[in-house]
Amino acid sequence: MRLEGREITSGLGFPEGPIALADGSVLVVEIEGGRLTRVQPSGRRETVAELGGGPNGAAMGPDGKCYVCNNGGFAWQREETGYLRPIGRSTDYQTGRIEQVDLATGAVKVLYDQCNGVPLKGPNDIVFDAAGGFWFTDLGKTYGRVSDRGAVYYARTDGSLIKEAIFPILTPNGVGLSPDGRTLYVSETETSRLWRFDIIGVGEVAKEPWPSPNGGKLVHGLPGYQRFDSLAVEANGAICVATLVRGGVSVFSPEGDLLEFHEAPEPYCTNICFGGPLMKTAYITLSGTGRLIAVDWPRAGLALRG
């Protein structure tokens, strides 16, 4: 099926990390623009904070502040088709980081830029749990002939804890939790595989033995050349994964069945979040053309903790 949506705004600098707020506005990061932006229902845009680097994913914390995964910055290329796409690490890259943003003042604080002496490379996506802590993916960076191996971390908002939960994992991107909070989902970009991990403690997951490459249990892997980006979970537990190249949203059951595919109007369909009074509006970022659209979704999305 095809995504029939209403364009809320365009002209964004590679938008990602949408957050639907209670007042009807939507926060997005602009990776190429290096900022956190609020988009009103009318399409009017307001800069919340200038972050620099490459703000990549975002979530609201229990303290009412916004927490941003900043990948440190990409180099960019615009194709003949007009699409903008990242092509590796920026020339002024220093490190990845987790940032805390006060929405009222725009004040920005770097919360973490390393874990036990290991620098964060390219933090990508983030989700909060019921305890007020958050899981986030670090996709890594590609530079020249080298690519980092990725990881998944768990951290607290007060700066008191960051721990590596999963390593290595190949280009981890989207991250989400099951409705009961007991299962962690992680999507891998370059393999187009969706993995699940049973949560057994604070920032701890059970690990499957070899031949699992990362300790996870495979939910689904798509055939052909497709790539996974960020994800969101429905209230019924289905996992909605933004799918690049083919362009759209793939929906999987927790048992691993591909339930449906919603075709987007461009290959760089990068993220999805749910909002609206019944949580049945899907806000989707079309990053290559810099658009945010709203789509009537057939089912309710899971209300995120925060």
**Percent of the chain residues topping a pLDDT of 90:** 95
**Mean per-residue pLDDT over the chain, rounded:** 97
Confidence (pLDDT) at 28: 98
Residue 238 maps to a domain: yes
Indicate whether 210 pLDDT > 80. Answer: yes
CA distance 112 to 217: 29
Q: What is the mean pLDDT of residues 285-293?
A: 97
The CATH number for 36's domain is 2.120.10.30
Query: Which amino acid belongs to residue 119?
Result: P
Look at the chain and report how many structural domains it folds into: 1
User: Which pTM was predicted?
Assistant: 0.98
Residue 226 maps to a domain: yes
Are 254 and 239 in contact by the 8 Å Cβ rule? The answer is: yes
**Percent of the chain residues topping a pLDDT of 70:** 100
* pLDDT tens string 81-120: 889 999 999 999 999 999 999 999 999 999 999 999 999 9
Residue 301 maps to a domain: no
Indicate whether 306 pLDDT > 80. Answer: no
* pLDDT tens string 164-199: 999 999 999 999 999 999 999 999 999 999 999 999
Residue 85 maps to a domain: yes
Residue 304 maps to a domain: no
Q: What is the DSSP letter of 150?
A: E
What is the number of other CB atoms lying within 10 angstroms of the CB of residue 231? 25
**Domain coverage including residue 154:** 5-296
Residue 304 — very low, low, confident or very high, per pLDDT cuts 50/70/90?
A: confident
Strand partners, 60: 66
* pLDDT tens string 241-280: 999 999 999 999 999 999 999 999 999 999 999 999 899 9
Residue 35 maps to a domain: yes
CA distance 297 to 238: 13
